Chains A and B, each alone.
Chain A
Amino acid sequence: MKPADKKAYDKDYAQAKKTGKPFFPYAIYKDTIIAGLTVIATIILAITVRAEVGEPVNPATTDFVPRPEWYFYFAFELLKIFKNQDALTPVIMATFMVPNIMIILLVVWPFIDRGPERRIWKRPFALGMTVIVTGLLCYLTWMGANSPAGVASQGLPLSGLDEQATKGMDVYMANGCGSCHMVAGVGAPGPGPDLTNEGAKGWDNAKMIAWFKAPKAPMPSYASLPPEDLENLATFVNGLGTKYK
């Protein structure tokens, strides 16, 4: 804003204030009504939809469905979009780049948009941002709310499994891998990458086990699994798409 615009605004606002009304009671009564209704709505929600207590924590079992509260669904869905380790959709976009760019933009926005215009229909860029950001947040939240919570229990449609791979698949199923990964069309479409052709990478079991123990975020560590299970799981995963289709 140019100094002249600032001066004009100050003058205009002083005028508005002069012809205005005192905060108490002209504004505070509206505030009280809306705040009161909001608190009442919260109490009604608390009464009708009781807060439940889930299963107690057991860090030894990794059979879990890592789903955040609804207000983080957008971040969760972002992980599904950028779930690959390739250059186009790297995980770091969802875990670091996009959130931080959004946060920085949010904080410094008044120093980017400094024009004197306040009417939204004369600020097409700001209007577009409002629509796009709100729309995207709503869409991602909706997607998160409708994402499958787990994997079908009947098993994976794979053939050619030997004894070790069958054991590995059991480990895969028992530890909820399918709530983040997909194999042959079964499982959740993210946040983890599709593992249908994981064997094509040509990793050996040692490398795969090292990954299970210290994977890249957002995947949690599976170091607590027994070594035998890890070995079987690694065999299973390393054969996906090559030996076991």
Chain B
Amino acid sequence: MTTKDIGPKNPVQKGADATIDFVDERSGVKTGTRWFLFRNIPEGTSWFQTLGFTAMVVFGMQAITGIILAMYYVPDTQGGAYKSIEYITNEVTWGWLVRGMHKWGASVMIIVVFLHMARVFIWGAYKYPRELTWVTGAMLLLLTMFMGLTGYLLVWDQKAYWATVVAVNIFASAPILGPYIGDILRAGPEFGPATLSRFYSIHMLVIPGAIATFIGLHLYFIVRLGISEPPWSKRRLRIERDEEDARRAAAREKAKALPGSVNYPASWPVEAEEATR
């Protein structure tokens, strides 16, 4: 698009433009933004297609509240972990709210991710060409579940401790690899201080990193392949109706052309079919 120069610009705007141009020249950020934000999507996308974005926002909320919690949390089995949770809940300004949001955010995220998956499944949106988008999404679901499992222990109260002991036992009981997985999760043969540090690290660093990576891949696939169209969008229904009409017209022609068939008046089948529609 060409614009007419209508005179000297505000120097601030000039500076801003120059900066953006400088960055764009080297990074292609303008093209990227256009590719991401101003790509066309099919008309009539549904409200159900907002769940993926919502899951991402909830993940962002979990990241932010999680970072705040990490500022106070101490992964110490000698009472430090439990005391730091008490401290966050009772002493820190808004601490109870941040912890509550993080705790409830986990449940909300599981629900949103599940609904998102159900929407994709029911719409057949995982079919060609979006198979890999589904696979990365399935990974994200599993990672979200693991997030819930590892975060549970960090509170270090009786309920969390014993539920996690049982869960790790279950992992460790798997054939062949089970004992190794158990040792890796527990950081040894017994549940102890090293286990808490390990769960802390897995919960804060390993899984969030993996989730961020898979969200990146997931988004790349979505933008590259485009968001799926509802299988019953107005446009699809119109096409299906046209196809049906064409099929019927062809059938009528065929019936007419058959030797020995009754010659119906031209208007008859159309009217009959209009009535049944």
A residues whose Cβ falls under 8 Å from a Cβ of B: 1, 5-6, 9-10, 12-13, 15-24, 26-28, 30-31, 33-35, 38-39, 41-43, 45-47, 49-59, 61, 64-72, 79, 91-92, 95-96, 103, 106-107, 109-111, 113-120, 123, 126-127, 130, 134, 216-220
Contacts and interface: CB of A to CB of B under 8 A. Distances in A.
Contact of A53 (B58, B110, B155, B233): B155
B37 A24 contact: yes
Given A114-B128, A218-B166, A54 B157 contact: yes
Q: Give the interface centre of B141, B159, B226 by most chain A CB atoms within 10 Å.
A: B159
Given A17-B42, A52-B89, 19 more contacts: A17-B41, A22-B38, A23-B41, A30-B50, A35-B54, A35-B56, A38-B108, A39-B57, A39-B58, A46-B101, A51-B96, A53-B157, A56-B157, A72-B145, A72-B167, A113-B124, A114-B127, A218-B166, A220-B165
Nearest to A129: B121
A19 B43 CA distance: 7
Nearest to A38: B54
Contacts of B129: 6, 9-10
Contacts of A9: 128-129
Interface of B: 36-43, 45, 47, 49-51, 53-54, 56-58, 61, 77, 79, 82, 85-86, 89, 96-97, 99-101, 103-108, 110, 112, 118, 121-131, 134-135, 138-139, 141-142, 145, 148-149, 152, 155-163, 165-167, 169-170, 172-175, 191, 226-227, 229, 231-233, 235, 239
A58 B160 CA distance: 11
Contacts of B101: 42-43, 46
Contacts of A91: 173
Contact of B43 (A10, A20, A42, A106): A20
B170 A95 contact: yes
A28 B49 CA distance: 10
B199 to A, nearest CB: 13
A218 B168 CA distance: 8
Contacts of A64: 158-159, 161-162
Contacts of A50: 96, 100
A87 B86 CA distance: 47
A177 B126 CA distance: 46
B212 to A, nearest CB: 18
Contact of A13 (B37, B152, B160, B229): B229
Contact of A217 (B41, B123, B170): B170
Contacts of B156: 56-57
A189 B252 CA distance: 66
Contacts of A45: 100, 104, 108
B77 to A, nearest CB: 7
29 contacts: A16-B229, A17-B41, A19-B235, A20-B41, A23-B36, A23-B39, A23-B41, A27-B41, A31-B53, A42-B58, A46-B100, A51-B96, A53-B82, A57-B158, A65-B159, A69-B152, A72-B167, A79-B170, A96-B173, A96-B174, A106-B138, A107-B138, A110-B130, A110-B134, A111-B131, A114-B128, A118-B125, A127-B122, A220-B166
